[in-house]
Chains A and B, each alone.
Chain A
């Protein structure tokens, strides 16, 4: 762990340096135009200062994004419409609902696919097809259809989130449930074990490592789904709505703050699954 500290720090510094340089390059034309209109000549240090402190820069600097996040996460009341905690919670609740639905659907489908040949042949192609449709094209339709039968708010977003997250769960669990080798299945047969007993005693425990890999992928996909679900509905709350309104009004700093909040949220959720995974693996003596 300690050995990784220096390389990680180096890469991070490198990324921040590039970011600041690009802020100068991308924001300079606006700064120069403004100076020309005012008949001013900018020295390089004045140019840098201007490009790093514009109100609506093309590329905001890390410190501008950081300051905006600080303001909107810690300084605003969490009930405020301008608090990122408020928006983050709206998105998080849809993410978690979608993740749970997706996990449930994924596991049920995997169980059916592994135990029934007809399901395997008939459902698997549809599952794969479902993921080839761009979610951005599908999301508005899911929202329209669900709102026409009276579902608005969290549920449509959760459904879109589920649509993205069930896929890695199905694929991983099918592989996991099929991971017992022929010898292990034969062994169960010599004890005249039922399919259900084979599932409980052998297939499920063996699929646990696959499940955790899938859960991490599914969690990240869920958050993307929840944010995408907020874009076409003209939602006024949620990180997706925050990004959308930011783009309407050219509030790039607001977009980047929402983006980073979403990234931090996703990393925390995946990290939480990793912690649970480490605990379960230790209990089950699984060596990675």
Chain B
């Protein structure tokens, strides 16, 4: 069960044609993601981490190579609602309440009213926003809005959660809290999570596997299996094991000339 591969990419290439010539967003990317993994993609801007996530989501199409999600193409996976996608900004509609925002994908998917109600209650509980169903987005803080956006991605019960720097715009204290919450959520839902981030501590704290990427062309430099325990209080970031993994991530980034 735990060894089941859900996402598999083989020699994936993606080249964007621009007026300034081609940009190699992804070059020869090979990666297998196992069910229940928490994978972080880290690297500087332009390393292709977001592009790779967008390829999984069928928002961008690779120019070469193959990728399968649950054994099918990204397009088929998208149509069968295999994943929930969380963007950097919450993207809540100001004219809808939090509850109605979470209902939005459910309405689009044609899920019955009674089930919509049930699911909204369930996911609001998961992100601890039970009392905010009737509130409008502007009445919530940035961190709460992002939690609502995660709830919306969870609402249709996809097994895979794709997250593109979801906490990138939040301050560090809120970020710590949301990282803890996300880990809790991951433990309770057993979803496969792909998480794009700029932050080394965030990547190390959250992940079972860290994919270090580098730009020009966008490629994978290193894949680090984390041996941190499942239970991770915030204080784990001061232990030697944590610092060692962070050090390895930094070395990977340096080897990919990311600091130049």
Q: Which residues of A contact B (CB under 8 A)?
A: 183-184, 186-193, 197, 201-202, 205, 284-287
Contact = CB atoms under 8 A, between A and B. Distances in A.
16 contacts: A183-B89, A186-B87, A187-B85, A187-B87, A187-B91, A189-B78, A190-B83, A190-B84, A192-B81, A192-B108, A192-B109, A201-B104, A201-B107, A202-B93, A284-B95, A286-B94
B59 interface: yes
Given A183-B89, A192-B81, A192-B108, 6 more contacts: A186-B59, A187-B87, A187-B91, A191-B81, A285-B95, A285-B136
Contacts of A192: 78-79, 81, 108-109
Contact of B138 (A190, A197, A285): A285
A189 B59 contact: yes
Interface in B154-196: 156
B120 interface: no
Contacts of A186: 59, 87
Interface in B77-105: 78-79, 81, 83-85, 87, 89, 91, 93-95, 104-105
Given A189-B59, A190-B85, A192-B81, A183 B108 contact: no
Q: Sort chain B's interface into a size bin.
A: 20 to 34
Label chain A's interface by main secondary structure. Answer: helix
Given A190-B78, A285-B138, A183 B91 contact: yes
Contacts of A190: 57, 59, 78, 83-85
Nearest to B156: A191
A184 B108 contact: no
A111 B159 CA distance: 36
Contacts of B136: 285
A205 B93 contact: yes
Contacts of A202: 93
Nearest to A281: B95
A193 B81 CA distance: 11
Contacts of B94: 284-286
A285 B105 CA distance: 21
A193 B89 CA distance: 20
Given A186-B59, A186-B87, A285-B138, A191 B95 contact: no
A195 to B, nearest CB: 12
A205 B79 contact: no
